[in-house]
C-alpha cells in the first residue's frame, strides 16, 4: 500500500504519516494507531518497536 493510500484511509496528512514512518515522532494517538492497524490489518506490535533512548 502506498503512503498516499494509507494517508487517505487513516485520514492523516502525508507529512504526519512520513514523520511516523521515519521514526521521528515522539508520540502517537491511540486513535491514529488504531486506524493504521485497521487499514493494514495488523496489531500494534507489528509496527511498533521499543528503542531505549541514549542518555548524554
With beta carbons less than 8 A apart as the criterion, state whether 5 and 20 touch: no
pLDDT of 56 above 80:
no
C-alpha grid cell for residue 34?
A: 488504531
Scan for cell 528503542, then name that residue: 51
Residue 51's pLDDT is: 81
| Residue-level pLDDT at 45 | 95
End-to-end CA distance of the chain: 38
pLDDT digits (tens, 9 = 90+) for 3-55: 999 999 999 999 999 999 898 898 999 999 999 999 999 999 999 888 887 88
| Domain residue ranges in the chain | 3-47
Amino acid at each position: 500500500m502506498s503512503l498516499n493510500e494509507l494517508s487517505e484511509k487513516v485520514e492523516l496528512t502525508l507529512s504526519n504519516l512520513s514523520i511516523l514512518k521515519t521514526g521521528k515522532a515522539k508520540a502517537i494517538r491511540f486513535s491514529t494507531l488504531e486506524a493504521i492497524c485497521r487499514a493494514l490489518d495488523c496489531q500494534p506490535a507489528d509496527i511498533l518497536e521499543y528503542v531505549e533512548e541514549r542518555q548524554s
